Amino acid sequence: MTPIILTPILDLLDIVGIALFALSGAVLAARLRQTFVTMAFFALVTGVGGGTVRDLLIAAPVFWIDDPWVAAVCLGTALIAWFTPVRWWEGKGFDYADGAGLAAYAVLGSAKALAYGVPPIPAALMGVITGCVGGIIRDVVAGRPSIIMSPELYVTPAALTATLTVAGMLAAPHLGLTDAAAWALAFACGFALRSAAIHWEWGLPSYGGGREGS
């Protein structure tokens, strides 16, 4: 297995994803009127949760153990949340930011899995896990229903992003394209779908929808 050599683009996606997810965890703790220690914990587990599970599954070194900047970014976002009013982070604007983090992490997770020799379909699933698991851990710890338990399009944009990342990286050499172009296209499509779902409140049909007693 060949370790991934992060490019500036993947480095940027990594930091963006970590910061946005960490902020979502810290803001949730602020809404729950928790202490700063709890807020920092929420920021950390939300920011690194998905990437940690991914790295354990693909037998890679856990990314934030050897990188001192990751914990610093999580702590920094917790400080931002601590010293700012919660109302700053309410509304759909924050949802769009979270959608950008979701797409960024889905790209990064899939690209890293491919670089570690993971086959295409599991590599795409690693992108979904990277993008979604941190938020799931956050919601479970907070004792609230996770967004994946609602019809709202959330996992689907992550899956689209991850699939396009894998397909684009595999096809890029044959089409004369760069991996960076594949990453950018995947990110744009995934973020566009998530943004559309936020704006128009798109959701998937639930099992048994429209049937009495279902």
Residue 209, pLDDT score: 64
Residue 211, pLDDT score: 46
Cα gap 128→30, rounded to integer Å = 27
Residue 1, pLDDT score: 40
Residue 214, pLDDT score: 36
Residue 163, pLDDT score: 98
Cα gap 102→83, rounded to integer Å = 25
Measured from the Cβ of residue 68, the count of other Cβ atoms closer than 10 Å reads 9
**Cα-flanking dihedrals φ and ψ of residue 153, to 5°?**
-70, 110
Residue 207, pLDDT score: 79
Structure tokens that stand for 99 in this block: 């959608």
Give the pTM.
Answer: 0.88
Residue 78, pLDDT score: 96
Of 138, 114, 139, 136, which is closest to residue 125 (Cα–Cα)? 114
Residue 62, pLDDT score: 94
Residue 6, pLDDT score: 53
| Average confidence (pLDDT) per 10 residues, the chain, 214 residues | 55 81 92 95 95 95 89 95 90 85 93 95 97 92 87 94 97 90 94 95 79 41
Cα gap 127→125, rounded to integer Å = 5
